[in-house]
Amino acid sequence: MKNTALTDVHIGLGAKMAEFAGYNMPISYSGIREEHEAVRNHVGVFDVSHMGEFIIRGKHALDLIQQVTSNDASKLKVGQAQYSCLPNGKGGIVDDLLVYRLAESMGDADEPAYMLVVNASNIQKDWDWISKHNSYGATMINISDETGLLAVQGPKAVALLQKLTNVDLASIPYYHFQKGSMAGIDNVLISATGYTGAGGFELYVDNKQLLQLWDAIFKIGKEFNILPVGLGARDTLRLEMGFCLYGNDIDDTTSPLEAGLAWITKLDKSDFIGKQLMLEQKKKGLEKKLIGFIIEDRRVPRHGYRVLNVNDEPIGVVSSGTQSPSLNIPIGMAYVPIDYAKEGTAIKVEMGSKSVPAKVCKVPFYKQS
């Protein structure tokens, strides 16, 4: 089991630790609800250094990225990022990821460079997949083990981090980034992305400087009611927004179209892996769809629970479920036949010997005010 550069810090803070994607990661510190509410109302910091980062550079870097990803990376300008996925050519998804358009390629501005940020559990899988399709001679560099990553999320994230940098953070639009000095550390990639819906930034630094950055943030964070936040609250926060989690809501068997990811699947761009299958799926019409639902009971749905229609006939399986700390109700997502995907449709979720009523609803479940 691997550690991040901050593992000892997490243990020292009394975090509940557990294995996740091969890493020893903090699940919670003071409690999932308290950490969740800190991000929604103030600011919280996640150590997400387990994520994977690849540099793709060279004259034909874009050609490779266009072939293996579903979104249109040709639209990216320097300083922009996009959400995308790696179709597997069989109708499913190898992984979902972020694509960053970097400023230059190892000092050569004539050769474009990109950074791909992938899920920790899929680092080797994604590397092998992209390498397999690199017939373009693009240079690939796996910088995952050298890269530290903090997600500073919440409505007070800008005010807090602005005290540590001369970069005008408020001027960075959503899904854009800048490189600059942060807490005395040069060349920090400051990205206005996130996985919580609460605003904030993700900060990429050299692993050797991660502790310095963490300490600087928490040194001034008290006035902002800052808390360290673990993966438990990260999951409740993303689920309230209806964001997919690879391995739960999307995987090698789920189509981006079925998962509601048509917006990152550009079927009008040049050919890419799986494009023809998705064109056929779109023409034929979807047979199933990922939906959000609210439980009309106090019981909490969990991954793997069966979904039933009102006649108690199985129609699907819960992909993600939790008790929403913000809404104080049980929520979840599941794939169901398209006939059951309409908002307001009555369904049931089987929990042990009992099935509880639920209703299909739009996502996000929660909207940040």
pLDDT single digits (tens) 136-158: 999 999 999 999 999 999 999 99
In the chain, what percentage of residues exceed pLDDT 70? 98
Q: Name residue, tokens 């059951």.
A: 340
Sorted by where each begins, the domain ranges of the chain are 52-142
The arithmetic mean of pLDDT across residues 15-30, rounded, is 97
d(CA 70, CA 77) in angstroms, rounded, equals 17
52-142 domain in CATH 3.30.413.10?
A: no
pLDDT value for 107: 52
Q: Give the burial class of 77: count Cβ atoms within 10 A of its Cβ; 0-12 exposed, 13-18 middle, 19 or more buried.
A: exposed
CA dist 337 → 4, 247, 308, 317 (Å): 41, 20, 11, 11
Residue 236 pLDDT > 90:
yes
Taking residues 4-13, what's their average pLDDT? 98
Rounded to an integer, the average pLDDT of 181-200 is 96
Q: 330: number of CA atoms within 13 Å, CB side?
A: 19
- Region 111-131: mean pLDDT is 97
Model pLDDT, residue 367:
87
Model pLDDT, residue 104: 67
Amino acid 85: pLDDT: 98
> Would you say residue 106 has pLDDT above 60?
no
pLDDT digits (tens, 9 = 90+) for 204-217: 999 999 999 999 99
Inform me whether the pLDDT recorded for 108 exceeds 80: no
| Mean pLDDT across the chain | 96
73-77, 87-91, 162-166, 365-369: range with lowest mean pLDDT:
365-369
φ/ψ (deg, to 5) at 364: -70, 150
Using alpha carbons, list the distances in angstroms from residue 232 to 90, 241, 319.
32, 15, 16
Q: Between these two residues, 112 and 165, which has the higher pLDDT value? A: 165
Query: Percentage of the chain with pLDDT > 90?
Result: 96
Beta carbons of 95 and 119 less than 8 angstroms apart: yes
pLDDT one-digit tens code per residue, 43-83? 999 999 999 999 999 999 999 999 999 999 999 999 999 99
Angstrom CA distances, 266 to 109, 246, 258, 279, stand at 28, 20, 14, 10
The pair of three-digit structure tokens given for residue 140, joined into one six-digit string = 């690939």
pLDDT higher than 90, residue 103: no
pTM for this model (two decimals): 0.96
Higher pLDDT, 237 or 108: 237
* Cβ atoms 299, 305 nearer than 8 A: no
Which strands make up the sheet holding 200-206, listed edge to edge?
A: 177-182, 185-191, 200-206, 147-153, 43-47, 226-228
Rg for the chain, CA atoms, rounded: 21
Structure tokens at 160: 């807090």
Torsion 363-93-56-65 (CA) sign: negative
